[in-house]
Amino acid sequence: MPPSVSKPASRLTLVIVARDEARALLQAVGRALALPERPAVIVVDNGSEDDGAREAKERHPQVKLVRLPFDMGAAAFNVGVERAETAYVAVCDATTLWAEGSLAAAADLLDFYPRVAALAARVLRAPGGTEDPGSASLAKMPLRSRGLPGREVLGLDPRAAVLRRAAFLEHGGFEPRFHRGGDALLAYDLAAAGWSLVHAPAVVAYRPASSSEAPQSSVRNEILTAWLRRPLPAALRRTFKVLAAGGSWSALRDALRDARWVLRNRRVIPAQVEARCRRLDAAA
């Protein structure tokens, strides 16, 4: 069991990425600074056209503000994590509320399990509400969990995760070309290097309900991830399965536009990681 006494909050920074969410961002920063863990807070303004980030900085001078000139998608988290000065970084958007004590629990877990690179939070739709479907699906991934503080996963939600900063940056963070997503590619690379990602029920975040329908960009990214890291037969099977599940041919066409980039960056994952991927494919 991990230590029961939390250590100083200086171990962890909270990175909030927001785009044109002035009201939600102001509330998110206020809630973050009121947490008992007292994390350092970095706001990454992801190419916003409103004044929410400036107002948040004026109200809370202790917050570090990073303003990006355009929407970088999930890669905006990379910028925030780079600016952090702590070993661990929690990442979220302006609609996420962390439960009191969850960030301290996350830091304790990462202290106690040195080969865990990231924790996917248990995401609830509201205090006392039902579990978010995406979070529930992570919790049910049929991967080994022996010796880990929760179910091993090959993916996470960048809007509710706690990262080991050094491992995240060493393996490139979220791929900028994907814009949204990129967590599966990062998970494959971390697993290939011997790291684990874990769904941690003790780390709780609250988020409003969101649409479960995957945009075509997500379908494109799933196809690209398969061809970047999976063996050729598995990449083919995964492509056909994604398209058969409702992905449009336009998503495939978008993926084909990146064929040269894929060939330059293709690195097939080790057999033990591919075995986990096949287990997930079979369960899906």
pLDDT tens across 214-257, in order?
Answer: 556 788 999 999 999 999 999 999 999 988 887 677 888 889 99
pLDDT tens digit string along 58-104? Answer: 999 999 999 999 999 999 999 999 999 999 999 999 999 999 999 99
Q: What is this structure's pTM?
A: 0.91
3-state secondary structure the chain: CCCCCCCCHHHEEEEEEECCCHHHHHHHHHHHHHCCCCCEEEEEEECCCCCHHHHHHHHCCCCEEEEECCCCHHHHHHHHHHHCCCCEEEEEECCCEECCCHHHHHHHHHHHCCCEEEEEEEEECCCCCCECHHHHHHHCCCCCCCCCCCEEECCCCCCEEEEEHHHHHHCCCCCHHHCCCCHHHHHHHHHHCCCEEEEEEEEEEECCCCCCCCCHHHHHHHHHHHHHHCCHHHHHHHHHHHHHCCCCHHHHHHHHCCHHHHHHHCCCCCHHHHHHHHHHHHHC
Q: Does the pLDDT value for residue 7 go beyond 50? A: no
